[in-house]
Structure 1
Amino acid sequence: MQTNDNTSQSNSTSKSRPGEVHWVVKMNHRNRTASWWIVFLILALQFHATGRDTTAWVLMSLQFLVYPHVVYLVARHARAPLETEINNLRLDDFCFGLWTAWLGFPLWITYLLVICGGINLAAFRGFRGALEAVALSAAGAAVSVAWFGLKFEPDTTMPVTALSMACLTVYLLLFARGAYFRALSLSETRHKLKLSEQALQGQLEAVHALQAQLTEQANRDPLTGLYNRRYLNDSLRREFGPGARTDQSVAVLLVDIDHFKQINDRDGHSAGDQVLKQVATLLQQQARANDVVCRYGGEEFLVLLPGLEVDAALSRAERYRQTVSVPGTVIAMDGAVVTLSIGVAGTTDKAVNPEHLIDRADKALYLAKSNGRNRSVLFAETDANVSVT
């Protein structure tokens, strides 16, 4: 019998480090040594009452005083200490069966040894372990009966009964105490794991937020805050790639700031940057939620307009141009208002290469510049069909 301090351990108990005694082996050695001294005293009282010879006393001393240290050494030096210790518990139960049958099944001693042995093995093997302990005790009893014959002397003296009851009470209390502290330890471990999980979740969310921020930064022009050509290419693949709606028109505006080089040369690059940022703000403010406004080049911007017909796209271009050309809307350089030239192109044919669509807008922009700037031009297949406003 032993008082097991950890009632919920199983074969998955963590292994000890090389050179270190497994904690289960140490625990069981301590408990077995202490509790079996009490059993020795109980049997000594029983022997005194029933009158046993010297051989019985020697065997009892070997079993309950020497045996605990022998099985400890065996488990300590075994390759699989935990499994060896569980086998030691099985051997305990078998020996308990031998002793109870040889003593004639004294009621309190038999109950004490069998129930405690069953609880010990159940702590490591569950209900199956309890049944296994009972079976091993029965096997030990059967061997004893076969060798020494069947005796049935269930009565015990009052001291033996009282000490057995006290021993069983202390054993169950210690077992409950071990279970209680084990439950506390598991609760603390779960709490720490929960805190660690929350911290890890927070770190993952921070990583995801950082990834989103880096992705956003990689897709944005650092000066104007508009999307860059990388993001534009991704948007074009979505509009013209597999799965895109074939009945939805797509329009493109290619916007150029007129005489931008003169602004830089005359007023400095800082003033030029201010013009770029304010034009970018205007383009973004008048865009729809699904429009894509990009900085396409130095002073060029591209506005991708999904689902917009070319006539509506031309109207949008004019609204941009007229808003910018109003005095005071954007920085005026020496009284000169900044103006825009815009090329417009559109298609309902998703088989059209998106680069070809942008090339059409670029040709329309070229015509806008050639025809005096500060105007919007809609691309047509022939120069005669170019619409200039």
Structure 2
Amino acid sequence: MAGSTFGTIFKISTWGESHGKALGVVIDGCPAGLALDESDIQPYLNRRKPGQTSVSTPRKESDQVEILSGTFEGRTTGTPISLIIPNTSQKSSDYSEIASYYRPGHADFTYDAKYGFRDYKGGGRSSGRETAGRVAAGAIAAKLLAEMGVTVTAYTKAIGHVSIDMARFDKQLIFSTATCMPDEAADKAAMAYLKECMENKDSCGGIVECVVEGLPSGIGDPVFEKLDANLAKAVMSIGAVKAVEIGDGFQAALAKGSANNDPFQSSDGRIYKTANHAGGILGGISDGSQIILRAFIKPTPSIFSTQKTVNKSGENIEIAIKGRHDPVIVPRAVVVVEAMTALTVLDACLLGMSARLNYLTAFYKAGTKTP
């Protein structure tokens, strides 16, 4: 299967299936010297793992990560870092029935069309559980970015029709509310809405917003390797994401140029913008403002209501899906969006080191470096 590797310099390859023995990721291109152990990665996985709230799947997984290679005496060595996350709570019997039919909204039909067969136990590689490897790698990328003064923060902006009020924004609530909403009032309203969805054997979608701060201007490339294009690809590679916008996004199509343009100003030799409709990226290159990205996430396709579909023989049937499923994907997707954003931004920063001759000469002009 192609398509499990992401990145150019900071490159990751995720592996494993939802109901296999384990999942994991191999990271190549991480610089040597970064202080790293499992405690740097585990908090990110804890944010993603199932079974923690009333609005996530009841499947219980500890998602304990183990570093198998790439570190020595608590620091990265510059060699590939291999991480493993064992599966401990598979219930494959919950999925034996779906081997004979295609679930609406899932990749069952398309995997059969491409490969001629599929891993029906939990969806195999098409399961949201594949993202555990991405999050583990993203934790390392985020730590490297922090060393550079760059932070990446994602949160739930909306669940269904319930949106946060930025005037009530409280960053700490991202980590304490079941919805990952940084607005206590919105969290309560969203939980009430989710309860209604669950009572009706239904699910809902929502929006994750991600903000990158501290990134200097000049990161990213024009034409086919635009920073915004690569961010969109990275975030759209998350299974449940159906659309991505940056800055004003869809609203820019309704605006006039006089309102959509971000004015430039200069103060004490520093050039800056007085607005940020562009979301921190111009011409595919960062402009020094906050990068603001939103991921639009579909409702969980596994619902307990009766649905129409077909079996592998082409017969029309009705099904009621069994198993353990999230009524909303959004809260657990927050850290996945954060991870994919961090991976993309870090890779762009590393690529940017070769953009100018003076970057190279400044590093190498003293001759061969010694320890």
Q: Give the structure with the higher percent strand.
A: 2
User: What TM-score do the two structures reach when normalised by structure 2?
Assistant: 0.27
Higher alpha-carbon Rg: 1
Q: Give the structure with the higher percent helix.
A: 1
* Larger RCO (CA within 8 A; separation ≥ 6): 2
